[in-house]
Amino acid sequence: SAHQYGQVYAADECTYTVTGSKQVVTHTGFLAISATDLAAPWDQTVGSLLPAGGTSYTILEEPSEGAFSVKYSFDAAGNDLARAFLETARTSSGADTKDIQVTVTGFAGAGNTVEVVSIDRCQSGTCAGYRASGPGPASDAVCV
Q: Consecutive sets of 10 residues in the chain, 144 residues long: mean pLDDT of each?
A: 39 47 80 87 90 84 86 90 86 85 85 85 54 42 37
pTM to 2 decimal places: 0.72
In this predicted structure, what is the pLDDT of residue 137?
A: 37
CA angle (135 as vertex; 143, 101 as ends), nearest 5: 60
In this predicted structure, what is the pLDDT of residue 17?
A: 46
Pairing of strands 8-11, 58-61: unpaired
Q: Could you give the CA distance from residue 31 to residue 133 in angstroms, rounded to a whole number?
A: 15
Closest CA to 98 of 62, 40, 46: 46
In this predicted structure, what is the pLDDT of residue 88?
A: 83
Counting every residue written for the chain, the total comes to 144
Yes or no: say if 137 and 107 are a contact pair by the CB < 8 Å rule: yes
Phi then psi for 90, rounded to 5 degrees? Answer: -65, -40
